[in-house]
Chain A
Amino acid sequence: MTSDMHLPPAFTTQRSARGILQWLNAPERRGPLLVAPAILTLFLVNILPLLWSFGLSFFNYRANRQAAPRFDGLDNYGDLLTDDRVWERFVTTGMIVAGSVGLQLIIGFGLALLFAKKFPLRRILLMLVLTPMMLSFVSVGIFFKLFYDPSLGLLSWIVGQFTGEPFAILATPAGAISAIVIADAWMWSPFVMLLVLAGLVSVPDYLYEAAHVDRASGWRRFRTITLPYVKGLILLALLFRTIETFKTFDLVYLITAGGPGSATETVAVYAYRLGFQNFRTSEASALAYLILFVVIVLTSLYLYLVNRRDAEAAS
């Protein structure tokens, strides 16, 4: 202690700087300090814009005008919920979700039943079947746009072999919706298959053996053994795909851009149009929050099911 007395004043200031570092470096502060930059970035680029847009949804504001935002209360929400066009978009989205998710479940389940068996080249085929879900939306979108093209597309050519005329699937509302459904199902059926396959391979062989000994029919074996084992996973796949498909933007925008007319305009595409083509920024924000609300409801359901499944597995 006595040696401190001889130190020059400059050294004591340096000591206090080091003191701050030491204070920050204390074990209880080190962790929060290390994550702080990430939290800050997240707040700036993610949370703040989110809250900002939520705030905007209560104002009358256009991003391409200089005018100051005017507070409108719940007007945007009221207008949207009473607007037939918005409900139409929700119905369109619902149709695409129902068609695509239904198709994904059927194809995914079928593929899973197939791949639960052992056969030559199974692993290689499994890899190939999984490829679609690993591609980017943009490449899948462009691929299907070309596939559906009336003058260049493979589909038109194949149909042409029978009818002698080019086939424009995207020209009719029903055709366009099925085109979207097919593209989305093509891309995401493998995902459903993966989940269901996980359930199928977890069924112990001895249950099937017991059912054989008990002389149960194929359908009865499926109902009492297979289905209970994959039921939970199918529900998860259903919800997960519903949430994802509900938000569909990329595929629709790339393949049909919402057309013909507004026949395939999903709520996500409509929100995009409102916000970035019509620059009705605050209305678009409100619509985005309506979509978010639906997604949150579905997600809670999803999490509830996941938790229940964990609880079942634990018991």
Chain B
Amino acid sequence: MSALTVQRVTKTFGDFTAVSDIDLTVAEDEVLCLLGPSGCGKTTTLRMIAGLESVSQGQILFGGEEVSAKPAQHRNVAMAFQFYALYPDLTVGENLIFPLAAEGLSKAETQERLDGIADTLHLDSVLQRRPHELSEGEKQRVAVGRCIIRRPNAFLFDEPLSRLDVALREDMRGSIRRILATLNRPTVIVTHDQLEAMTMGDRIAVMRDGRIEQVGTPQDVFDHPANTFVAGFIGTPQMSLLDGRCLDAGETQVTVGTDQMRWTLPASRFADMPRTGEAATVGFRPRAASLTPGGLALGGCRLVLSEHMGAEKLLHFDWHGQAVRVLTQDDAPQIDEICTVYLGDAAPHVFDNNGIRLRMKGDRQ
């Protein structure tokens, strides 16, 4: 089997461009998660790969073979739908083997695959039931089962876990991850949940407004967000992003700051140097900040909200009109109290005037 390639694909609906000139490659044993807020074009992209939506420009290839013009029936892709799309009049068993009719398998082989799937997904006890008699979790498993019972060119999952409750979702995330590892087919999962994307994907493609903002491994995207959008979108709690300007980009030192604050970083750490006078954004994760003195200090932070998150508290500060978030296990100060937030030794993320990440030495890209 072979890789799935999306080449310079654009999709327009009338005047609206849903997907704009995207490139993606999914290797045959790889799981790619399309992640992004609603309306970013991720589902449209998936539907174009499935053949349910035509491609306005560009090509989609399965193992080098162009399939852009082929309808869904002729692409041999398996897809699990967000609303499961179980056939209401068929039993669970009939639903599961429904796609096998097109493969012309023998009865014995069909039964063997059905047994295998029912066993993997713990559906043995409900094979005779009809979809309306199933719980949400069972429906979801049938939808996944109907997908993975096949040996298609690609597996496509549209928001597979979005309709499950939290506990079930965590459980299924693990199961699906294990199953996907055995499939050896290019797999694309659409999700708006970054945790899902981080845990299930080998790589993540972050999308916004029909464009791909960054593609990389979960770790990579988290550690080296390509721009301020990805930085703000990936990671909970959200990264604090402070707008300022590059005050001085010298031979040895780079100074970035605002009227209230300045950061000095050794110039030797930058792979891309900022330019003096241009706007710059500095970002740091709430977990990297604390109220314990040490490292760079942000004075004059007014506490506006304190959220309990179990073992930790998320403190929202107002720092001269910009939001600063701190995740701490310490006791929260009083609301409206003025505090100093310390950034410790952690290196901040620096983005240029277009919001593009300035690469540091040692970045993997």
Contact = CB atoms under 8 A, between A and B. Distances in A.
Interface of A: 204, 206-207, 209-216, 220, 224-225, 227-229, 312, 315
Interface string B51-78: 1100000000000000000011100111
Contact of B89 (A206, A209, A211, A228): A228
Nearest to B90: A224
Contacts of A224: 87, 89-90, 98
Contact of B77 (A204, A211, A213): A213
Interface of B: 50-52, 71-73, 76-79, 81-83, 85, 87-90, 98-99, 101-102, 132, 146
B85 A209 contact: yes
Contacts of B88: 207, 228-229
A28 B71 CA distance: 67
A214 B76 CA distance: 8
A315 B132 contact: yes
Nearest to B72: A212
Given A204-B83, A209-B72, A315-B132, A214 B102 contact: yes
B114 to A, nearest CB: 15
Contact of B72 (A213, A228, A229): A213
Contacts of A215: 72-73, 76, 99, 101-102
B52 A212 contact: yes
A212 B71 CA distance: 8
A215 B50 CA distance: 12
Given A206-B83, A213-B50, A224-B90, 7 more contacts: A212-B52, A215-B76, A216-B98, A216-B101, A225-B89, A229-B88, A312-B132
B73 A212 contact: yes
Contacts of B78: 213
A202 to B, nearest CB: 11
B79 A213 contact: yes
Contact of A209 (B52, B76, B102): B52
Contacts of A312: 132
Contacts of B132: 312, 315
B4 to A, nearest CB: 15
Contacts of A207: 85, 87-88
The interface centre, meaning the residue of B76, B77, B81, B132 with most chain A CB atoms within 10 A of its CB, is B81
A210 B52 CA distance: 9
Nearest to B99: A214
Nearest to A231: B89
A216 B101 CA distance: 8
Contacts of A212: 51-52, 71-73
A315 B134 CA distance: 11
A91 to B, nearest CB: 36
Contacts of B76: 215
Nearest to A315: B132
The interface centre, meaning the residue of A209, A212, A215, A216 with most chain B CB atoms within 10 A of its CB, is A215
Pick the 6 closest A-B CB pairs, nearest first. Answer: A228-B89, A215-B102, A210-B85, A214-B99, A212-B72, A206-B85
